[in-house]
Amino acid sequence: MMFSPVLVNVGGFKVNAADRGSSITIGPYQQIDYFLSNKINYGFGEENGDLAPIYIPISSIADPDLIDSNSGKTSII
């Protein structure tokens, strides 16, 4: 299944890549009690932009770690 690239235009601004936990805002903005934790492996790099070519590599990964990073959320609210 093929999807076209995401295209976001806000006035005269063009947004090519909005990563995890990001936001596109105009005006005042405050994130209250926000938590984001993720592990990402970009073994072959990350392609951003319009009509970037995608190559599907054939590989395998041996990761013996059961837990790579523990994270927990504590709130002051």
Q: Which two tokens stand for residue 37?
A: 């934790």
CA separation for the pair 33, 42 (Å, rounded): 28
pLDDT of residue 64: 74
Instruction: Note the pTM of the prediction, 2 decimals.
Output: 0.35
31 or 43: which leads in pLDDT:
31
Phi (first) and psi of residue 34, to 5 degrees: -105, 140
- Give per-residue pLDDT as tens, 32-76: 887 776 666 666 656 656 666 666 666 777 777 777 767 777 777
- Close Cβ partners of 32 (under 8 Å, ≥ 6 residues apart): 77
Domain locations in the chain? Answer: 1-21+28-77
Instruction: Give which of 67, 50, 55 is closest to 7, Cα–Cα.
Output: 50
CB 25 within 8 A of CB 41: no
